[in-house]
Amino acid sequence: MRKNAKLKTARRFRKKLTEPELYLWLRLRGRSDDNPVFRNQHPIGPYVLDFYCPQARLCIEVDGACHSRDDRIAKDAIRDAHLAEMGIRTYRIFAGDVVQDADEAANGVILIALERIAELSASAEPTSTATPSHHALRARSPLPVNGAGE
């Protein structure tokens, strides 16, 4: 039941985006082959994330002025730690920066997501000492190929 409640909350939040969230969402929502996919107001665990890129396991939070208060900083730290335990990195961007230059903010978010995807891909590559492919063996072969070296 709690999961349904978070989903309903997320749907309600999607209809009432803040101005900076809307500016950023209008730039992130487009789907193209070159850019990662983002979801807005995405429920995960007990939280609803402003934006989430599943491929990058990246949460984007647009922080207004209230996030600079001590009590909010503490709550954000707890939330970020919880997400980190789930393998999700959090990137916080000031709402004023989004309003000032939404294109630059969106480009920065996309770049961070692409870097994170590359980081996750690199860490997922096997590190075993498996036998090299036949192409690698051929390239290292000391024997002449096609009569060369005779």
- Angstrom distance (rounded) from CA 42 to CA 76: 16
How confident is the model at residue 106, as a pLDDT?
95
pLDDT over threshold 50, residue 71? yes
- Angstrom distance (rounded) from CA 94 to CA 18: 13
pTM > 0.75: yes or no: no
Q: Which element (helix H / strand E) includes 67?
A: none
**How does pLDDT run across 12-44, given as a tens digit for each residue?**
555 578 899 999 999 999 877 788 999 999 999
Q: Report the mean per-residue pLDDT for the chain.
A: 79
How confident is the model at residue 52, as a pLDDT?
96
How confident is the model at residue 142, as a pLDDT?
41
Superfamily the domain 2-125 falls into: VSR Endonuclease (3.40.960.10)
CA angle 63, 66, 70 (to 5 degrees): 110
Q: For the ranges 41-55, 82-96, 130-144, which has the lowest average pLDDT? A: 130-144
Q: Above pLDDT 70, what percent of the chain?
A: 70
Positive or negative, the CA dihedral 94, 100, 101, 102 is positive
Average pLDDT over residues 96-123: 95
How confident is the model at residue 137, as a pLDDT?
37
pLDDT over threshold 90, residue 11? no
Number of other residues whose CB lies within 10 A of the CB of residue 85:
9
Residue pair 92/63 in contact by the 8 Å Cβ criterion: yes
How confident is the model at residue 148, as a pLDDT?
44
Q: Can you give the residue ranges of every domain in the chain?
A: 2-125
Q: What tokens does 63 get?
A: 């922080």
CA–centroid distance for 42 within its chain = 13
- Angstrom distance (rounded) from CA 56 to CA 87: 10
DSSP codes of every residue in 21-58: HHHHHHHH----SSS---EEEEEETTEEEEEEETTTTE
